[in-house]
Amino acid sequence: MDHLVVTVIAEDQPGLVERIAKCITEHGGNWLDSRMAHMAGQFAGILRIGVMPDRQPGLIDGLKELEQQGIRVLLAGAGPSTPAQAQAILLELVGNDRPGIIREITRLLAEHRVNLESLDTDVLPAPMSGEPLFHARARLAVPSEVSLGELQTHLETLADDLMVELQLQPSEYRGAP
């Protein structure tokens, strides 16, 4: 079975996911993994579909036809998964909102060859003051040759500079193969 990675975006509306699922099923595909969200009136998602090689061209054509219904589709073949020897780490961060927090954190992670597997962020009002607080939760794949202690030290130093609270902990979840 081949795998396709599909990104979709459309104006949010009832029945949107059903239309995508119907297309996949009608063309012999199997919906495997997905991450989807509503944001600012738009609906966006990324999903992994399994399909037999002889059914793949029809599925691709069917997905592209969704664009006539206002659903923008981007297709890619599935790439290699994260190496098994990489350690899964969960990073949680909270701090006063300001531009550049994600840029600085991801710069440091890239310098240490750490792969960012997932990232969820929000800006929510602080409980007492109502000031905007930036929240981030990320799943990282840390290569086995990278010292977790050294990575944590660098992240804590950066957290102090950014004036954010940061926590790292092992994660059981490894993501899709």
Q: What is the pLDDT of residues 35-46, one digit of tens each?
A: 999 999 999 999
Last residue of a domain, one of 53, 77, 101: 77
Q: Is residue 174's pLDDT more than 70?
A: no
Lowest-confidence segment of 81-85, 104-108, 169-173 by average pLDDT: 81-85
How far apart, in whole angstroms, are the C-alpha atoms of residue 177 and residue 163?
Answer: 36
CATH number of domain containing 32: 3.30.70.260
Count how many residues are written for the chain: 177
Q: What is the mean pLDDT of residues 32-58?
A: 96
- How many CB atoms sit inside 10 A of residue 78's CB? 15
110 lies in which domain range? 87-170
Domain membership flag for residue 176: no
Q: Is the pLDDT confidence value at 176 over 80?
A: no
Domain end (from 16, 48, 77) = 77
Inform me whether the pLDDT recorded for 76 exceeds 60. yes
Question: 14, 45, 77: which is the final residue of a domain?
Answer: 77
- Cα 6 to chain centroid distance, Å, stands at 13
- Do 73 and 94 sit in the same domain of this protein? no
- pLDDT band per the 50, 70, 90 thresholds, residue 173: low
* 67 lies in the same domain as 118: no
Residue type, 173: Y
Residue 175: inside a domain, yes or no?
no
**Residue 17 falls inside a structural domain:** yes
Q: How many CB atoms lie within 10 A of CB 133?
A: 18
Q: Residue 177's pLDDT is what?
A: 40
pLDDT of residue 81: 67
Q: Is pLDDT above 60 for 34?
A: yes
Same domain (yes/no): 66, 116: no
pLDDT band at 171 (very low <50, low <70, confident <90, very high): confident
pTM of the model: 0.79
**Once rounded to an integer, what is the mean pLDDT over residues 141-160?**
91
Q: Mind listing the pLDDT tens digit for each residue in 131-145?
A: 999 999 999 999 999
Report yes or no on 133 lying in a domain: yes
Strands 72-77 and 2-11: antiparallel
Q: Is residue 53 part of a domain?
A: yes
